[in-house]
Amino acid sequence: MKLSALALNISSPQPGPSLAKNFTRYQVTTNVSQHSVQLIQDNVHLIENGDAKIYLLGTAHVSRNSAELVEEFIRQQNPDQVCIELCDPRFQSIQDEARWKNTDLFEVIKTGKAYLLMAQLILASFQKSIADKFGIRPGEEMRVAIAEAQAKNIPIFLIDREVRITLKRAWTKAKFLTLLKLFGAGLLSLLRYPLEIILPSVFPPHEVSEEEIEAIKEGDVLQAMVSEFGTMLPGIKEVLIDERDMYMAHRLSSIKSGTAVAVVGAGHVPGILNLINSDINIAELEEIPSPSAAWKVFGLLLPALIFVILIYGFFTAGSETGTQMALHWVILTGTLSAIGAAAAFAHPLTIVSAFLAAPITTLHPAIAAGWVTGLVEAYIRKPKVSDLESVSDDITTLKGVWRNRVTRILLVIALTNIGASIGAYLGAFYMASFLGGNQA
C-alpha cells in the first residue's frame, strides 16, 4: 500500500505499542473526543479535530524540498495560524541572527550553562556541515514558515518546549554511560575531518547525498533511526523526542477551530499523531528535575573521603606523612588540571589558575575548576565580535574550534574539569597508598 493512499480514523486514540511504555510514567490518558487523521500526501497529515483542520507537515531541517513544501502549503491554505516547532528563545534567535554578538560568556559560565552552549554548538555544526553541502541553512523551513506568516499577517503559534528546559532535563536524566557515549560522539565528530585526511583507509570520507536527507522523512527509515537512537541513548531520546512529542501534541490539541499549518521535524510526527487529545501533564514536562540522590551522594563522597584519608594520615602516620599526602594531592590535581587547560591552548595565566584552583575545587561539590579557568580565560582573552560571528563556521573544524575564542573558552572549561577529575581520583588512591606504607 502506498503511503499517499493511507487514511486513519482515530476514535479515543491510544499511544502505539512502541510509545506506550515510554509514556506510562507521565500518566497519559485520552479524552473521548473524536478526531481523524489522514495522510493526504507524502509528509503531510490532515488532522480534523472538532471544527479545526490542522495540516501537519513533517520536515527535515536541512532539506530544500521541506522548505518548498512549507512555502507551498501556507500559500495554498492561507491558514488562520501557523504552528512551528520552536520555542521563544529559538524563535528570537532566528529573527535576530546577530544575537551571538551579544552573548555574555561571563554570565554563561557563572550560571553553569557552558555545557548547554557547547551542546547547542555541536548540534548546529552538524546541521551546518550538511546544509553547506546543499546550499541551504539549517532550519530553512522554519524561516520560510515565519516569513510567509508575517507577510500575510498570520498569527504564529510556537508549540515546542523551551530549549533550556529540554537540555537540562536531558542532562539530568541521562545516565553516566549515556553521557560518555554522547561525549565520545561529539569528540569524534570534531576529529572526523582531520582523521579522514590523515587515515582515509580507516576513516573513509562519507558524503551525505540529498537523496539520503529526503529518505530520513520516510516512515521505515525514520522509525529505524528513532529506534536506534533510543537504544543507544535512551535517556536522551526520551527527553529530546518522546517528551517533546507529548508537549507539541498537547499544544496542537488546544486548536479547536479554524485552519492551521503545523511545521515539525519528521521524527516527531508519529508521536504527535498518537498523542493528539491525550491528557498530558504539561507542568511535569516543564519541570527541571534535581540531580538524583545518587549523583548528590557521589559528589559529596569523594571530598569526604579525601578529608578522612588526610585526617587519618596525620593522626596515624604522623604529620610528615600527612603533609606529603596533602602535597601529592595538590600536585596531582593541579598538574593534571593545568595540562587540560594547556591542551586547550589556554593563556599561561589561565593554566596557572587551573593549577591553583583544582586542589580546592575538587573538594567542593558546588564549584568546578573549569568555571574558574573559563572566567579567567574569558577575562584575559575577551571574545571579539568576529569570534561570535564566525563561531558557527569555526566549530565545524578542529582547527577552528581551537582558533575561535568562544569555543576555546568552552574547551578550556571542559578539559580543565576532565584533568581535575582524573587528578582527584588518582590523588585519592595515591594518598591511600601512603597509609599502606607504599610510598612512591
Listed by start position, the domains of the chain span: 3-285, 293-435
**94 phi and psi, to 5 degrees?**
-75, -40
pLDDT (0 to 100) of residue 167: 78
User: Considering only CA atoms, which of 36, 30, 68, 33 is closest in space to residue 53?
Assistant: 36
Distances (CA, A) of 57 to 200, 244, 372, 377: 39, 16, 46, 45
**Residue/partner pairs of 14-18 with CB below 8 Å, 24 or more apart:** 14/274, 15/274, 15/275, 15/278, 16/270, 16/274, 18/227
- pLDDT higher than 80, residue 395: no
The arithmetic mean of pLDDT across residues 190-196, rounded, is 50
pTM for the full model? Answer: 0.65
Please identify which residue in the block is written with the cell numbers 575548576.
369
In contact, 433 and 424? CB cutoff 8 Å: no
The tens digit of pLDDT for each residue in 153-179 reads 999 999 999 988 887 787 777 665 555
**Helix ranges (DSSP H) in 64-162:** 64-77, 88-95, 105-110, 114-134, 140-151
Is 386 exposed, middle or buried, given 0-12, 13-18 or 19+ CB atoms closer than 10 A?
exposed
Where is pLDDT greater, at 371 or 183? 371
User: pLDDT tier at 295 (50, 70, 90 boundaries)?
Assistant: low
In the structure grid, which three cell numbers stand for residue 95, read together?
A: 529573527
Predicted local confidence at residue 187, as pLDDT: 57
- pLDDT for the residue 9: 30
| Mean pLDDT score, 207-216 | 54
Is the predicted pLDDT of residue 344 greater than 60, yes or no? yes
HSE, CB side, 13 Å, CA atoms: give it for residue 437.
0
Chain centroid to CA 302: how far?
Answer: 28
- Give the position of cell 575538587: 362
Q: Look at residues 60, 64, 213 and name the one whose alpha carbon lies nearest to residue 136.
A: 64
Mean pLDDT of 72-95: 91
- Check if the beta carbon of residue 13 is closer than 8 Å to that of residue 47: no
Give the pLDDT band of residue 340 (cuts 50, 70, 90).
Answer: very high
Gyration radius of the chain's alpha carbons: 26
Q: Which amino acid is residue 104, in one-letter code?
A: D
Count of beta carbons in the 10 Å neighbourhood of residue 60: 21
DSSP states along 92-116: HHHH-TTGGGG--HHHHHHTT-HHH
Question: Residue 381: what pLDDT?
Answer: 86
